[in-house]
Amino acid sequence: MKVIQYSEEVCRERLELLRVEALKTLGTIYEAGLDHASAGKIITLATSISDLVGERDFPTAIREFREYAPFPLTHPFMVAFLGLMICKKLDWNSDRTLLAVGVGGLLHDVGMTKLPEHVKATHPNDLSPEDLVQYHKHCEHGMNIVAAIPIIPVAVQQILYQHHENSGKGFPQGLTNVKVYPLAKVVCLSDRFARFLILNELGPIEGLKKFVAVKEELQLHDPEIVRAFIKSFIKDEKTR
């Protein structure tokens, strides 16, 4: 049976609907905490984003995606769809993998809800050494938060704990790439690119050109994942 593919226009419309739903759900989680009901909504969102990312025209539909809503809300939504784009380009297409990356992307910074307000409100580069220690703990906090929700895939715990690990220069453990969980590598790169777009108010294609020009940035990441990341913005003419 031939699979019906959505047009670029419909992809954009669905992307906007999912963005609005993600901001609503994440807003509730950041205010009231993660519980079974909100976790179920996140799982549904992750599945819907994964399905949309698999559409042939999706890479074209997001080329000029621009949304600069409050950082804690728009950012994880972008991390989720960027991470899923990378996975699909790597042919990491099992339902288990895609769900873990989608949920991990949406919830990667949920541990920030456990930090003092002044730490959350300050850029990491401007934190005191003591506050930076607190900031680094958001990875562990996030892992513990999702571990308490049985319906969230176990792999998400590792993603949240390691999503700032890269080339021995990250945290909380300073792991080299060979020791980092592969799905955490995907979310790490997606996280840094999404942050780059939002802070510089750039669309994905314009931002991609500037992002890959920073050699120091690319050297932090697994080369295979970087290649898949770049290729993910190229439309595959094959249908699913």
pLDDT, tens digit, for every residue of 12-43? 999 999 999 999 999 999 999 999 999 999 99
- Burial of residue 209 (CB within 10 Å: 0-12, 13-18, 19+) is exposed
- Burial of residue 206 (CB within 10 Å: 0-12, 13-18, 19+) is middle
Q: What is the pTM of this model?
A: 0.93
**Calculated CA dihedral for residues 207, 186, 77, 43, nearest 10 degrees:** 160
pLDDT, tens digit, for every residue of 160-194? 999 999 988 899 999 998 999 999 999 999 999 99
All domains in the chain, ordered by first residue: 8-231 (1.10.3210.10)
- Which pLDDT band holds residue 234 (cuts at 50, 70, 90)? confident
- The Cα 113–Cα 226 span in angstroms is 30
